[in-house]
Structure 1
Amino acid sequence: MNFFEYQDRARRNSGLLIALFSLAVVLLIGLTTLIAAAAVAYSRGQFFSPLDIEQLLGWQTVGSIALTITIIVGLGSLYKLHQLDTGGIAVAESLGGRKLNIAPQSPAEQRALNVVEEMAIASGTPVPDVYLIEDQAINAFAAGYKPSDAVIGLTRGCIERLNRDELQGVVAHEFSHILNGDTRLNIRIVGWLNGILIIGLLGHWLVRGIYPNRNNRGRAVLFGLGVALIGVGYTGTLLGNLIKSAVSRQREFLADASAVQFTRNNSGIAGALKKIGGSSAGSNLSNGRAAEFSHMFFASGLKRSIFNLFSTHPPLTERILRLDPTWNGQYPSGASPTPQLQGRESNRPQAAGIAGTASFQMALDAVDNSIANPSEQQVQYGRQLLQSIPVSLQQAAHDPFIARALVYHLLLHNQAPKQRAQMALLKKIAHPAVVREMDKLAPQIKALPDDARLPLLDLCIPALKALVPQQYQIFKRNLIKLLRSDEIIETWEWALYRVLMHALEQTPDRQRLSNKKGASKDASRFLLAAIAHAGNNQYLPAKRAYEQGLKFLSLDVTPLPSRKDIGLQHLDKAIAIAGQMKPLEKPALLKAMVHTLNHNGVIKAEEIELLRAVADSLDCPMPPLLPVK
């Protein structure tokens, strides 16, 4: 099953979750109705039978109970989903996490950040925010609605007690959840189940408020109602754990298998699980909100109780044996801290050859088999790509102020006259200190290979997310002025800009979408036209490339828009419409782009990165293509 099939199945899984949630609400309504009928029968001194509900309550009362429960659950769910509308950041901050991307404070934190950055580059995703949870338990989580707003959380025990291979296995496991869309489902589970659990919270509130003063009949009735709601709430807890278990356990096995596939090292993730079993802290988090997010963790974050009958994670022993069938069942005697590193990481590979061109078949295979599915070689290549970026540029990318200078420079035109005009514009509109940083870093940026530019941009994203709203709006306005400065938007410049906006702006502009019949076909045509012009300065070769892409999509041939018609607003609208395509429709569009790029038999490195940038904007993370040997 490839990425697109998995995404399609994820949509169906959302339907299953809605069905389970609806069933849970129906069961709560039924239980509440039974309790209410039993209370009425008791007050009348009658024997209670479920068959007497109509006589005891009447259908109008039953309907009122159903409506009340539905409203309470609905409001509770909407409230929690609103709290989580920022995606993974809301989860990480709820657990007390501290962001590492901008200022790691120890070698262990720097190593953890490096591992996440390497995996992001290898996966073709923006570098996620990395949060440290101050807990000695060995655990991790991934959260977010999509790769562009994803967060990786790592506990103190995880980054200090695991060696590099084990940490990489854990991070690869969490990236599997991000790439396969599990994190979106996990956040929805938290939101929807909050509505079910809130009934029990209302019961606790009533009991705490009434208990000291329950001297009259009215207060006793309210106290009894509170106790009844607590009972219903515990039922909701059981149902919630059952729903989590139904959608989570098998996905943990799949994520383990994907981590092994990414790293080709089953001993890494198996070693991490063994250290959890041998550690006194285990994987149990001390944070009081761990139960709320228990299904998101790498390993169970809760102490064993009766509710582990519905555990969201398979037993450690079962997971380890699947990864290491020769395991003797013995856990290491305590997970001793990993030796601290001196300075930056040592024993890291030097940058290897960077891909200059790609074959047509290689690019097609990447669409079919590599999207959201990096191989071991691509993970290693991602590490090499990171090493091809000078340390000074990596450090600059982690600084919110200097990261802006890097992005401005990446968007400069490669022709000297236009570049000089853009620099003159930046000196007028950008902060003077940012312009000075651009001049200082210019030689190193110019020396970067073509396919290291997109990874460098990805490294900047966590720092740019830290800009305050006013700073961000000025930065975005300057980017748009920079792109429009020469009146013609170069497709590569737009692709970098779109990758950036896709990662930084979590709420898409709905005004760009269209309900017009055939809108997706028009958007596909426009994107193919932009791709055709990107690889050809002359009209006739661009026209042939454009028609080649249309032919693959079986679209009628229409006149090729001129290069001047490829404007920023039209490009953004086309990509927004294409992004709404169904998962199984997207690979055809990406393959049509490959056919367009291949019109002359050669796909250059810059064109490969253009394809990857467009794929990223369509929520189809494409790993970097391996160098041709």
Structure 2
Amino acid sequence: MNFFERQAAARRTSTRLLLLFALAVLGIVLAVDAGVYLVFGAAGRAGALLTFTTLATLAIIGIGSLYRVASLRGGGEPVALQLGGVPVPEDATDADLRRLRNVVEEIAIASGVPVPKLYVLEHEAAINAFAAGYTPSDAVVAVTRGALDRLNRDELQGVIAHEFSHILNGDMRLNIRLIGVLFGILMLGVIGRKVLQLGGRGRNSRGAAVILVAALIALLVGYVGLFFGRVIKAGVSRTRESLADASAVQFTRQTRGLAGALKKIGGLDAGSRLNDRGDAEEVSHMLFGDGVGFSGLFATHPPLLARIQALEPTFRAEQLHDLQRRWLAAPPDGLAEDVQLGLVPAGDATLPAAAGEFALTPPMVVAQVAAPAADDYRRADAIVARIPDELRILAARRDAVMPLLLGLLLAEEPALARIQYTEIAARLGAAVADAARQAHARSLAGLHPLLRLPLAALAFPVLRRRPRPELDTFLDTVHAVVNADGRVSLFEYCLGRLLQVQVREALDPARYARFGRRKLAGVRSEVSTLLCVVAQAGHADPAEAQRAYLAGIQRVLPRDHLPYLPRAGGVLALDAVWAPLDALDPLARQALVEGLSATIGHDGRIGVAESELLRTICGVLHCPLPPMLERAVP
């Protein structure tokens, strides 16, 4: 399956989750009513009593789910903090933390998404990890201290690639919703247990006896909820974990890393089980390895040996026992293995000339959405290496990240740059405006086109730590800079829009965590506008622009007659198209990406700057692309 098919499958899974939840609620209500009827039904007025218990049960489940969902509105960060996660600083000097950040940055840039926040579960010796959040813009990746200590670079990359597959494929938002939804069906058991713990302290009376009997019923029914919750998590999780393993191999183009991490889970005493079973069970469906120890019907992951054999078919259980004996005497050290095996970032890929061209076909682009390969990782490492140290330092500083990103949007034309400077100074102050102008003049003006989006991705974790009022002002400033005189380039407009989208999603992640459902027939005008503006901006010759537009529209809406009509407002006409187009269902979005690719590369070739424009537009539409779309044409 490609990205769009996986998104469609994730949406179907989300629908199935709601159905399973409804069945679980029905089962719990019936169990409560049966218990109440057996104990109190003979006393008369059974109908009124059962009506009351049914409504009370539904209210408790609903309130519990709504409460837990509300507590997770902040996205992945509350989950990491709940498990004792410690943030990894952007300027970390510790070798383990630096290696982790390098691997995550490399995969994020190769994937075309912002670098997620990083956390380490310092008190967990087991090897495990998880990704949490609603969207890539609010994603958090957490790893255990055991993973940092025991895994070498290849193995750590395999684990992180596995977690990124959850980020890219829509699994992550389903996982976090699952926590909130299932909390409600466990509420009765929690209430019953608490009442029984406190019940013995009260005076002996008929009312107290009734309360204790009700609490006992709630506790017993709570086990029904626990059963349903575990079955739902296992059913939703197992298949997606196997797919994430396959995606990680597809990303890294090697099996030894992921297989090595799984072998170390099986061969070390700590394995993958977390210390806090309560919290671990709540998030068990989102962990890299089995964090609780369930098996059979309740297993959230395929058997460990089966996962290894899917990567290395000749591996046998006896070999795992041999590894256990060896590591019992000398546990592995990840950093030492890096030195021994010579595992260092590739750094051997080169960037194409800024004026270079690439071969491109729309199906090729669709296949690369959210599907980075080994070449993309090498390029990502080359991209990071080519970003000037001065800019890397600015991207890691809280006080410098806003001027840096605004500097990316400053125009080369002096008159327009002065207007943009005034807009920044009016909102954020002269110091920020000066810093933005200096960053642009010193390092950003001649920056290779392939480095601009990765630089923004590296800066994003620092940007999202700013206070909300400052981020609101920053978004207003970005809008003002982009629209300073209405003559902004399409790339600058889309880069500004991408920053807006990512910051807003980070501020209120739950609000934007929806799978689109609209069809292309309902957004004909918006599709036509987008392709017209892209064709118009990329071709000075109207006839050539029309040919580019027609190449794209034939891909998206081949049966509709939508003539090429240049928009008078230029790029500003796009303000009205983003929300409807972002609400498209996954397969409709696939057709739109094909149409965009056909418009931008209608002659079968695409320049570096054009490829970055395509990546930016796809980023706004939540279809992340790797930094390079194809090898250079000789």
State whether TM-score is above 0.5.
Answer: yes
Q: Deviations over 1:85-118 (max 9, x none)?
A: 1221221222222222534251211111111111
Matches within 5 A, 1:226-375: 226-287=215-276, 288-302=278-292, 304=293, 309-327=297-315, 328-330=319-321, 331-332=323-324, 333-334=327-328, 335-339=331-335, 348-354=346-352, 356-359=355-358, 362-375=360-373
Residues 1:102 and 2:107 aligned together: no
Aligned counterpart, 1:391: 389
1:599 Cα deviation from its structure 2 partner: 4.2
Alpha-carbon distance in structure 2 between the residues aligned to 1:604 and 1:114? 29
* Contact 1:488 1:563 (8 Å CA) reproduced: no
Conserved? CA contact 1:351–1:388, under 8 Å: no
- TM-score, structure 2 as length reference: 0.89
| Of 401, 404, 428, the match for 2:402 | 404
Question: Are the equivalent residues in 1 in contact too, given 2:166–2:244 (CA < 8 A)?
Answer: yes
Judge conservation of contact 1:80–1:190 (CA < 8 Å) in 2: yes
Give the 3-state SS of the residue equivalent to 1:176 in structure 2: helix
2:627 matched to 1:628? no
Separation in 2, partners of 1:237, 1:105: 44
| Structure 1: distance between partners of 2:120 and 2:167 | 18
What do residues 524-556 of structure 1 show as CA deviations (whole Å, max 9, x unaligned)?
Answer: 111112211321245454344334433432342
CA distance in 2, matches of 1:407, 1:236: 49
Helix, strand or coil at the partner of 2:191: helix
Shift of 1:176: 0.9
Shift of the 366–412 alpha-carbon distance from structure 1 to 2, 3 Å rule, reads farther
Alpha-carbon distance between aligned partners in 1 of 2:49 and 2:199, rounded to the nearest angstrom: 25
Displacement of 1:296: 0.6
Higher mean Cα deviation, 387-396 or 183-192? 387-396
3-state SS of 1:339 partner:
helix
- For the 8 Å contact 1:170–1:298, the answer to whether it is kept is yes
**Residue in 1 aligned with 2:571?**
566
Once the two structures are overlaid, the 10-residue window that deviates more, 134-143 or 418-427, is 418-427
Instruction: Note if 1:592 corresponds to 2:556.
Output: no
- Secondary structure (helix, strand or coil) at the match of 2:18 reads helix
2:403–2:439: 8 Å Cα contact kept in structure 1?
Answer: no
Amino acid at match of 1:289: D
The whole-number CA distance in structure 2 between the counterparts of 1:363 and 1:348 is 28
Structure 1 residue 351: Cα displacement? 4.8
Alpha-carbon offset, residue 143 of structure 1: 1.3
Residue 78 (structure 2) pairs with residue 90 (structure 1): yes
Contact 1:160 1:338 in 2 (8 A): yes
Paired residue type of 2:313 = P
Q: How many residues align?
A: 608
How far residue 57 of structure 1 moved from its aligned partner, in angstroms, is 6.5
Moved more, 7-16 or 552-561: 552-561
1:610 matched residue in structure 2: 613
Closer, same or farther: CA 200–582 of 1 in aligned 2, 3 Å: same
Counterpart contact for 2:80–2:142, Cα < 8 Å: yes
Q: Please, which of 176, 180, 183 is the counterpart of residue 194 of structure 1?
A: 183
Q: C-alpha displacement at 1:580, in angstroms? A: 0.4
TM-fit CA distance, 1:281: 2.3
Give yes or no for the alignment of 1:16 onto 2:13: no
Q: Residue 565 of structure 1: CA displacement?
A: 4.4
Tell me the residue number matched to 1:528. 531
Letter in 2 for 1:120: A
* 1:39 matched residue in structure 2: 39
On the 8 A contact 1:290/1:301 being kept in 2, the answer is yes
The amino acid that maps onto 2:320 is: G
1:493 paired to 2:495:
no
1:213 aligns with 2:202: yes
Deviations 1:18-76 (A, max 9, x none): 111111111111211221122136x77xxxxxxxxxxx764443333322222211111
Residue range with higher mean Cα deviation, 145-154 or 198-207? 145-154
8 A contact 2:519–2:585 mirrored in 1: no
Q: Which amino acid letter does the alignment assign opposite residue 595 of structure 2?
A: A
Instruction: Determine what percentage of the aligned residue pairs are the same residue.
Output: 38
Measured at CA, do residues 271 and 600 of structure 1 come closer, stay the same or move farther in structure 2, by a change above 3 Å? closer
Deviation at 1:168, TM superposition (A): 0.1
Q: Which amino acid aligns with 2:235?
A: A
Which of 126, 130, 133 is the matching residue for 2:121? 133
Deviation, 1:210, is 1.3
Is the contact made by 2:519 and 2:588 (CA closer than 8 Å) also made in structure 1? no
Partner deviation per Cα, 1:242-290 (whole Å, 9 max, x = no partner): 1111111121111111111111221111111111223332212224422
Letter of the structure 2 residue corresponding to residue 168 of structure 1: Q
From the superposition, tell whether residues 563 and 382 of structure 1 become closer, same or farther in structure 2 (CA, over 3 Å).
Answer: farther
Does the 8 A contact of 1:412 with 1:419 survive in 2? yes
Letter in 1 for 2:395: A
**TM-score, length-scaled by structure 1:** 0.90
What code does the residue aligned with 2:16 have? L
**Is the 2:131–2:172 contact (alpha carbons within 8 Å) kept by the matching residues of 1?**
yes
2:56 to 51, 56, 68: 68
Q: Is the 8 A contact 2:28 2:221 kept in 1?
A: yes
Corresponding residue for 1:47? none
Equivalent pair of 1:372/1:622 in contact (CA under 8 Å): yes
Q: In the TM superposition, what are the counterparts of 1:468-507 in structure 2 within 5 Å?
A: 468-506=467-505, 507=508
**CA-based RMSD:** 2.7
Partners in 2 of 1:422 and 1:280 — Cα distance? 59
| Corresponding residue of 1:51 | none
What SS class does the counterpart of residue 153 from structure 1 fall into?
strand
Range moving further from structure 2, 576-585 or 470-479? 470-479
What's the CA shift for 1:363? Answer: 4.1
Which stretch shifts more, 377-386 or 347-356? 347-356
Gap runs ≥5 in structure 2: none
Cα distance in 1 for residues equivalent to 2:594 and 2:518:
25
Name the stretch that deviates more: 476-485 or 185-194. 476-485
Higher alpha-carbon deviation: 234-243 or 328-337: 328-337
Alignment-mate amino acid for residue 283 of structure 2: F
Q: Distance in 1 between matches of 2:303 and 2:590?
A: 37
- 2: distance between equivalents of 1:76 and 1:266? 42
Conserved 8 A contact 2:356-2:632: yes
Q: Which moved more, 1:577-586 or 1:485-494?
A: 485-494
Does structure 1 conserve the Cα–Cα contact (< 8 Å) formed by 2:33 and 2:53?
A: yes
Which runs of no fewer than 5 residues in structure 1 stay unpaired?
45-55
Moved more, 184-193 or 102-111: 102-111
Instruction: Name the SS of the counterpart of 2:334 in structure 1.
Output: coil
Provide the secondary structure at the position in 2 that maps to 1:353.
Answer: coil
Q: Which moved more, 1:437-446 or 1:570-579?
A: 437-446
Greater shift, 362-371 or 574-583, is seen at 362-371
Q: Which residue of 1 aligns with 2:212?
A: 223
Moved more, 388-397 or 114-123: 388-397
Question: Quick one: structure 1 residues 551 and 263, their matched pair in 2 at CA, closer, same or farther if it must change by over 3 Å?
Answer: closer
Distance 1:336 1:441 in 2: 46
Per-residue deviation, 1:227: 1.6
Match of 1:122 among 87, 107, 110: 110
Moved more, 459-468 or 208-217: 208-217
Secondary structure (helix, strand or coil) at the match of 2:120 reads strand
What is the rounded CA distance, in whole Å, between the counterparts of 1:153 and 1:534 in structure 2? 42
Q: Secondary structure at the match of 2:141?
A: strand
CA shift for structure 1 position 470: 2.1
Q: Quick one: distance in 1 between partners of 2:206 and 2:81? A: 44
Offset at residue 347 of structure 1 (A): 5.2
SS of match in other structure, 2:200: helix
Query: Which residue number corresponds to residue 377 of structure 2?
Result: 379
SS at 1:619 equivalent? coil
C-alpha distance in structure 2 between counterparts of 1:627 and 1:413, whole Å: 30
CA contact (8 A) 1:378 1:626 kept: no
